[in-house]
Structure 1
Amino acid sequence: MKWPQTRRLCRLQHMQKWKQRRKLGFLGIPTYWGSGLAEYNDLRYRFMAMDRLGSDLQKILEHSGGQLKKATVLQLGRGLVDILEYIHENEYVHADIKAANLMLGCIDPEQVYLADYGLSYRYCPDGVHKEYKENPKKGHNGTIEYTSLDAHKGLAPSRRGDLQILGFCLLHWLCGSLPWEKLLRNPTQVQEAKARLMDNLPDSVLELSVRGASTDEVEAFLSYVKTLDYQEKPNYKHLKDLLASVHTGGLDFSVPQEPAGGSTTKPTREKKAARVKRPPKAKAVPAEVEDDEEEEMKAKPVPARYIRGPPLTKPQAQSPKEVEDVPAVSRSLRTRGSVTYMEDDSESEEEEDDEDEEEEEEASPRPIAACYLRGPPISPGAQSKQKYTGRKTDGFSAMEIKKRQLLSHRRKHCEAQGGRWEGGRPTHEWAALKLQEKDRYPPQIQGYEHTHNSEQEAPPTRRNGWFSMFFFAGVFFFLGAALGVCQREFKPF
């Protein structure tokens, strides 16, 4: 919005006086509360406070397929005529009316506000209207889809230009399309299409009539705008009467039930006609199935790498030749997981029972192989002796089993001969090991005895600790006694 020229139009007191004078209950212009400058981090910012608004009408149109109900379109038109009359009486025009600039109220969605005054223009400064002067350099200003013919010619915006823009918007919202929608990239062609529409009134608008909702009101609106002069003041009351409607309720933004007619329905009809020309597909007869159809019906095997979950244990019992021999009526497609296969209906019940049994077997818990268990193998009598090495083992290895069998055989042989068996060895072997240790280790560490086990060695134990203590104590006593004798012998007289 251009400040400070237009901010006085949005002041609450100014709008309240206008509504009392015109006996209006609502005027769709956002209230201006204040503006100013603010400084932050050595930067100056301009701000403006106004009413909080909701969604725009363009989003509603996109949701409803670009078309609104006729009663809603006429209600929006009457409200916008009130807004334009207020703006025009204050020497300004909006010049950019479209669905994207129409905002719904945040508190009451049925109240529609006209926002975005970035292209607003003061057409009558100090009561003097701008002259009619075409300027090709300023041509096609505004939103190309709805802008007026005056803007296409480069004329300054005027009151009849605002009303013509509003008429194009009403026509679009009612019919769902405009004749120049596909020409928007070429503004000159859009200008020519709009000129043809205005020159051929009322027939050009009546051709766009939708089924169940005529365009008589919009055609009368545009016909009146066509009669206006560039500097002429419109009759706003007459315009509101042209857009009168029997419906007096709130705005209804629901999707219209009747499809759009005119140019929007022609492509769909052509497509339907083209579809009718195509030869109809022959219906499949169960008793007479062609070979090609049978090949298409046959399920193709899916590679195992594309199948998720456990592999299917059910084999393909029938060969392709056997499947061809089965009548087409008795065959049916069955799907299991991501695999589709052929099945005979006569044996479907038995196979379903088999599948249920297989599913029950798959669902029941199965013992886990020992190779997938962490830790030493669990077996009686070997939990304390088995040493875990971090490798996966499936019970005892063959060498350990042979070793245990050999030890058991030696033990039985030793006991049969009257010998004694201790710690996995005969007693005479332990005596031989002790003699070897005495010969192997020096005398100063012979006090330690090493005991051996069949699978692990026990730490050495101290046996002559008390003997060493008494030995050192005797040595100290002997030295003390010798020192006392020496002191008595060499005592001076």
Structure 2
Amino acid sequence: MSAPKKRGLPKPLPDGFILTDNVKKKWRLGKVVGQGGFGLIYYASQDIGSAVSADTDFVVKVEYHENGPLFCELSFYKRAGRPEMMQKWMQSKRLDHLGIPKYWASGQAEYNGIKYRFMVMERLGTDLQKISERNGGRFKKATVLRVGQVLVDILEYIHENEFVHADIKASNLMLGHRNPQELYLADYGLANRYCNDGVQKQYHENHRKGHDGTIEYTSLDAHRGVTGSRRGDIQILGFCLLHWLCGSLPWDGDLKNAVKVMEAKDRLMDSLPESVQQLSVNGASTAEVASLLLYVKSLNFHDKPDYQRLRQILSTGTKEKLDFSVPRGVGEKKSASKALEPPNRGKARCSSTKHQPAMSSIEVQNGQRKAKGQGVSKAKPVAIGEEDDDEEDDDEEDEGGREKKLKQASCNRRRQNVPQKSDRVTRSLRSRAGTLKSYKEDDSTNDDDDEEEEEKEEDVRSNPIDPRYIRGPPKGKRGRPKMV
């Protein structure tokens, strides 16, 4: 069997499949519950004799053996993510929580001749991307600042162990399975070492490796193909915080063009703090994010960030809880945009016909108008009842071009043996059921008929009409007029 593509998602393993990790411990797979990077995520259990419960505390991430992301993630955990290391760090910093998911085991497996790599992890809850989508892309300001503080704690630990994360985003931030007030930074598939045994890598642009990471948030260093840096992680954090405060980013419309995104980020960084402060919405000031990005701008590539200063920039004075309820103004924003929408399509079509050429013939079939004749643009659907196949309708005519249009309409009507009007005479559309939709043009002259007489055959205006073209009552089954 040929080897699978290195960058594709793996074929699912069967429910109940048994994995054996590197220390010969066995794990039973449950159902697939998600995917991350280029791997599938399964529920898992240490009890291999029973089906995996939906309340289990473990998940297993599985990728093809040839894939790179899971290998990178395992490298991070083996060097910097061991539980005893994190516990020691928390004690030294007096932290109650450090949001890095616990690593339990890893190994390799084979099924149907295909090799897989797997990693057993602590199970987490929902990710912030799902919450963000529910909230219109925004979080409350106090929650945004609190999330920023938690991430500064996590990044400080990662950086102290010579790694950068390089892919901070809402879909990689997850709440705790048992405690939703705990926040975790997951997915270390793009994590890399910026420093080897105390020797930091040099700044070197490589455009063949440019724009790595998630395009909305990736750092300007990454856009230029420079290896990951600590200032890059803090800049990514700043772009994320700005998005969660405002609900969008200035370069959202150019995400398919990485160069344009990079240029937009350059402009934003060059014009700080005003470029960020002016993006404030619904009273939620972005001054703190502007200060954070201004501090990032002051850092050189090799500089170590002042993490305590970053915490102070994002501080609210109290240790706020994570509140992911809908921010104030999200619904109002939708209502405001709705109020700015143009009139409904039916009305827009009626008013726009004033500037269309006169139509030689219009058939109304199944709620649509079909235009015939020379020089007539395609008619748009009209929301009315089913009409008689032979009934006709003239569009409203513009005053400036009426004489020319009447001349063309006259030729068309002669060919169809239909009497001509000398000036503005509008035929109405009548459904078989007798329902009438009246589309009136704006004009200073009004009809003398009452509203109860709307179903008359002709809507005659106050302008005089040549007696030769005045029609009598409708004749025949379809109500077509006879020539005078």
**TM-score, normalised to structure 1's length?**
0.54
Task: Tell me if 1:214 matches 2:285.
Answer: yes
Q: What is the distance in 2 between the residues matched to 1:203 and 1:63?
A: 29
Q: What is the distance in 1 between the residues matched to 2:336 and 2:300?
A: 37
Q: What is the distance in 2 between the residues matched to 1:41 and 1:272?
A: 58
- What does the per-residue CA deviation read over 1:140-184, in whole Å, with 9 as the maximum and x for residues that have no partner? 111111111101111111000000000000000000011100011
- Aligned partner of 1:84 among 145, 149, 155: 155
Is this contact kept in 2: 1:58–1:99, CA < 8 A? yes
1:24 counterpart residue number: 95
For residue 234 of structure 1, report the CA deviation from its aligned partner: 0.4
Q: What is the distance in 2 between the residues matched to 1:204 and 1:74?
A: 19
Task: Tell me if 1:132 matches 2:203.
Answer: yes
For residue 11 of structure 1, report the CA deviation from its aligned partner: 1.7
- What does the per-residue CA deviation read over 1:37-91, in whole Å, with 9 as the maximum and x for residues that have no partner? 3455666543322100111111111111111110110010000000000000000
Q: 1:250 to 1:293 in 2, by over 3 A?
A: farther
Is this contact kept in 1: 2:217–2:239, CA < 8 A? yes
2:118 counterpart residue number: 47
5 Å matches for 1:353-432? none
Q: 1:210 to 1:274 in 2, by over 3 A?
A: farther
Secondary structure of the 1:54 match is strand
2:54 counterpart residue number: none
For residue 268 of structure 1, report the CA deviation from its aligned partner: 6.5
- Aligned partner of 1:74 among 145, 148, 154: 145
2:58 counterpart residue number: none
Q: Which has the higher helix share?
A: 1
Secondary structure of the 2:205 match is coil
Q: 1:272 to 1:123 in 2, by over 3 A?
A: same
- What does the per-residue CA deviation read over 1:329-354, in whole Å, with 9 as the maximum and x for residues that have no partner? xxxxxxxxxxxxxxxxxxxxxxxxxx
Unaligned 5+ segments in structure 1 are: 282-290, 302-322, 326-493
Task: Tell me if 1:250 matches 2:250.
Answer: no
2:239 counterpart residue number: 168
The structure that has the greater radius of gyration is 1
Q: What is the distance in 1 between the residues matched to 2:313 and 2:250?
A: 23
Q: 1:273 to 1:196 in 2, by over 3 A?
A: farther
Match for 2:155: what amino acid? L
1:205 counterpart residue number: 276
2:254 counterpart residue number: 183
Q: 1:68 to 1:247 in 2, by over 3 A?
A: farther
Secondary structure of the 2:200 match is coil
Q: 1:255 to 1:299 in 2, by over 3 A?
A: farther
Match for 1:13: what amino acid? E
Q: 1:143 to 1:4 in 2, by over 3 A?
A: closer
2:38 counterpart residue number: none
Percent sequence identity is: 56
Q: What is the distance in 1 between the residues matched to 2:310 and 2:120?
A: 33
Task: Tell me if 1:106 matches 2:177.
Answer: yes
2:37 counterpart residue number: none
Q: 1:324 to 1:271 in 2, by over 3 A?
A: closer
- What does the per-residue CA deviation read over 1:389-425, in whole Å, with 9 as the maximum and x for residues that have no partner? xxxxxxxxxxxxxxxxxxxxxxxxxxxxxxxxxxxxx
Is this contact kept in 2: 1:110–1:251, CA < 8 A? yes
Task: Tell me if 1:153 matches 2:221.
Answer: no
Is this contact kept in 2: 1:67–1:173, CA < 8 A? yes
Q: 1:265 to 1:204 in 2, by over 3 A?
A: farther
For residue 261 of structure 1, report the CA deviation from its aligned partner: 11
How many residues end up aligned between the 2 structures? Answer: 294
1:9 counterpart residue number: 80
Q: 1:136 to 1:269 in 2, by over 3 A?
A: farther
**TM-score, normalised to structure 2's length?**
0.55
Match for 1:182: what amino acid? G
Q: Which runs of 4+ in 1 moved over 6 A?
A: 264-269, 272-275, 291-296
For residue 211 of structure 1, report the CA deviation from its aligned partner: 1.8
Secondary structure of the 1:6 match is helix
Is this contact kept in 2: 1:94–1:162, CA < 8 A? yes
Q: 1:177 to 1:227 in 2, by over 3 A?
A: same
Task: Tell me if 1:236 matches 2:307.
Answer: yes
RMSD: 3.6
Secondary structure of the 2:197 match is helix
Q: What is the distance in 2 between the residues matched to 1:269 and 1:157?
A: 45
